[in-house]
Amino acid sequence: MKSVKVTYTVKASFVAKNKENIGVFINDLKRMNNNGIRYSIYLGEDGKTFTHLSLYTDEVAQQTFLEMDSFRDFQEQRDASGLEVEPTIEVLNLVAAY
């Protein structure tokens, strides 16, 4: 199992568009119905810092996700929006879960 955490901050003026773009790729994930991918997005208390947590059963599942057109569109628009804080990427190692 591979877990990845990505955190970034958008400008307040881009929050609604970022949520919309997230919704598009999440809907595509739901339609794909790939049991090897789990994906969650959280919005911080400041209302503009997003944290994405992804879990992949293997590299194939991760590549399948990363190659989605809607996810690539999301990333391009996010990065072009003039981020306040650039994305930080952390690979997490599962210790325990319930």
- pLDDT digits over 31-51, tens only? 999 999 999 999 999 999 999
Residue 17 makes CB contacts below 8 A (sequence gap 6+) with 77, 81
90 has pLDDT over 90:
yes
Question: Where in the chain does DSSP place strands (E)?
Answer: 2-9, 37-43, 49-56, 85-92
What gap in Å lies between CA 17 and CA 66, rounded to an integer? 20
Looking at residue 74, its pLDDT comes to 98
Residue 48 makes CB contacts below 8 A (sequence gap 6+) with 9, 10, 11, 12, 14, 15, 84
**Average pLDDT for 8-35:** 97
Domain ranges within the chain, ordered by starting residue: 2-92
Q: Are 3 and 54 in contact (CB under 8 A)?
A: yes
73 has pLDDT over 90:
yes
Q: How confident is the model at residue 77 (pLDDT cuts 50, 70, 90)?
A: very high
Looking at residue 94, its pLDDT comes to 87
Residue type, 17: K
> Tell me, which fold does domain 2-92 have in CATH?
Alpha-Beta Plaits (3.30.70)
Global pTM? 0.94
